[in-house]
Structure 1
Amino acid sequence: MKPHSYVTSMAAVVATAMLASCSSKGEQKEVAAAAAPPPAMNTPVVGPVPGPKRAITERVNPFAGDPAAMAQGRQLFVAFNCSGCHGGRAGGGMGPSLRDEVWIYGNKPVDIFNSIAQGRANGMPAWGAVLPEQTIWQLTTYIQSLRTPSEPAAPQS
């Protein structure tokens, strides 16, 4: 069994259990949509990937300032369990806060893209071989919206 098959199977088990606990069909559809796992591909590699990099240096985020991309990026952040390391609302956990203004690897769009795509030392998985570029840019757009009035589903102040 491939690693992602196990994850997909576990997600199906959790979704089934959640569906069984719902009282109405409307709730079941909502829970099923929320429990759907991200697209099954490969699993990310923890830390920087050795060998050729999928780094970009001069590219502009094609979704910069797009509210729909911010919302989609938020959904992806939740679906890929980024908060498992970066904490709820990206405020920090065992991974760093994404709400800080100063970052080790930079907080420009290209820096965020490269951190997601290539991974970083001390635990940031490299998602570049797993996720399409568009998805990484949507995550980047959401992360850049943190601490701004445009942030989707911002925490209550």
Structure 2
Amino acid sequence: MMTTTSPSYHRSKVAAAWLASLFGVIGAHWWYLGRPRAWAITAFGVLMLALSRLYPVWWDSPPFLILIIPITAGFIESLVFALKTDEWFDARYNPRSGRCNQTGWSAVFAAIFSTLVGAAVLTFGIALIVLHVYKALGWLDGLVI
């Protein structure tokens, strides 16, 4: 008896890269790629964003600083998706779709955006974390910041 498998949903490498770059903090690319436990990434991101709103300065709160980790992971995954070959992406995420990605320059633009914006966001996050550590250690006592 011969069984046939129907073609599965085709996922775009560029769409995955942009989703990881823009909405990686809530795991939008996890949902798009059909990864297991995507709900956990989304729940964590939403919870940390909600908790950060309880502070007077939301971007200078511990929950927001914890979000630097999934934000950075999103930018890194965006670079991985954009810079890996189309064949690698199709073999991993489109094994039975019957179509192939042909990205061209759109993947390069996603990689450039992820590199520039990701570096700025990560630098900002590291600066805030260092500032909090220095304050906690008393190294900035007497200084007006």
TM-score bucket (shorter structure):
under 0.3
Name whichever structure is richer in helix by fraction. Answer: 2
Q: Give the TM-score taking structure 1 as reference length.
A: 0.26
TM-score (norm 2): 0.28
